[in-house]
Amino acid sequence: MIKGVNRHIIEITNTGNMYYERALLVLRPEYNDVERSLLEKEARRLIRDMQAPSAIKKQRALVSWIVRFGISACVGALIMYFIKR
């Protein structure tokens, strides 16, 4: 049971990030008096600059290496074809 919790939260619904639909940011108590528009602007910048989750990065890297290997194998096969010819 939580009693007496008083937190200020900023909710960003239009994140501008292709991976995240909505973000909830909890403010530190010492920044509760800062202008709301400044906090929202900083929160939007933070969310927009976030990168893809690591699983997506790993998957893209794997696909990239497979494509590179395939292209290299094709180029090698073509070179050997013309050398043997």
d(CA 82, CA 35): 70
Rounded to whole angstroms, the maximal C-alpha distance in the chain is: 83
Give 56's pLDDT tier (boundaries 50, 70, 90). Answer: low
Amino acid (1-letter code) at residue 58: K
pLDDT digits (tens, 9 = 90+) for 21-46: 888 888 888 888 888 888 888 888 88
Identify the residue whose tokens are 């600059």: 49
Continuous segment of H or E residues that includes residue 12: strand 9-12
User: Highest mean pLDDT: which of 19-23, 48-52, 75-79, 81-85?
Assistant: 75-79
d(CA 21, CA 5): 26
Task: Parse the chain into domains and list their residue ranges.
Answer: 1-50, 52-85
Give 75's pLDDT tier (boundaries 50, 70, 90). Answer: very high
